[in-house]
Amino acid sequence: MFTLSKDSPLPLYYQLKSDLERFIESGKWQPGMQVPSERELCGQYHVSRITVRQAITGLVNEGRLMREQGRGTFVAHPRIEQELTALTSFTQDMHQRGKKPGSRVLYSGAQELSAQAAHALGLDSSSQQTGFVLKRLRTANGEPLAVETAHLLWPRCAALVEVDMERNSLYDALRRYCDIVPTNARQQIKAAACADAEARLLEVRRGSPVLHIIRTTFAQNGEAFEYVESVYRGDKYVFYAELNMETTRGGAYLHSRAHSNGAG
């Protein structure tokens, strides 16, 4: 501990960063804990401030540490790792991680749909369409993670009006009261800067990185029943997918399913 090798081919900042990373991984540095100041680390490792700053900045950029202006640097809470190929509900996701899901209803009721929502739900978007709109702040152990606005088929989902959406899972309620089984979905994820209104709800600074997720979800009979626009905190989530090389008769080739604007 506290010794870096000047003879190593690895740069000093990198060695220091790996050492600090080990403290986080081993649990010696717990989430939320304040880490020693740059000056302290310079003294402990006998390296320059530039080296320490480079190591810390690397860990901040990777989301392992958080800098709080005027307060210092802290160990970040681990992000929620979200599989991209399984269709799950927020409630399920949180239960799987041993967290308590919560919802604050920001709006709930029948509303005119945007052309985009109507189109995604398979409705005639050239005329005015009504949907059931449910806007919720989603929390885990009381911590805000996402703002989700679901647009659902109306009057197909009218039974939801009677359901307390602060206490119930939307997907459970759809199965139970509307005979809708969420079966598959199409999803688009893009990076954005957090707007003012969402920043207040998510308790982050305006302009913080967030993920805009747009999902269209289909029922057991292939019918699109929800079109959801969500804003997820960028510092809380990691999305991952397992990718397999597609093969053809001619051998292996790379096939990209990525579209620049083909969501929904």
Binding pattern for the stretch 87-106 against ligand GLP, x by CB under 6 A and - elsewhere? --xxx---------------
| Number of residues near ligand GLP (by CB under 6 A) | 12
Nearest approach in angstroms of CB 132 to ligand GLP is 12
- The structure tokens listed for 203 are 């308790």
Residue selected from 35, 150, 178, 219 as contacting ligand GLP according to rule CB under 6 A:
150
Give the three-state DSSP class for 152.
Answer: strand
Phi, psi at 91, each rounded to 5°: -60, -50
215 sits near ligand GLP (criterion: CB under 6 A)? yes
- Token pair 């747009």 in the structure block, residue: 214
Residue selected from 16, 169, 219, 237 as contacting ligand GLP according to rule CB under 6 A:
169
219 and 243 in contact (C-beta within 8 Å)? no
Closest CA to 76 of 68, 84, 88: 68
Nearest approach in angstroms of CB 224 to ligand GLP is 12
Nearest approach in angstroms of CB 17 to ligand GLP is 34
Residue selected from 13, 45, 171, 237 as contacting ligand GLP according to rule CB under 6 A:
171
Q: Residue 55 — left, alpha, or beta (φ > 0 → left; ψ -120 to 50 → alpha)?
A: alpha
* CB closer to ligand GLP, 198 vs 226: 226
Burial profile 140-150: b = 16 or more Cβ within 10 angstroms, e = fewer = beeebbbbbbb
Q: Which positions lie near ligand GLP, rule CB under 6 A?
A: 89-91, 148, 150, 169-171, 215, 226, 228, 230
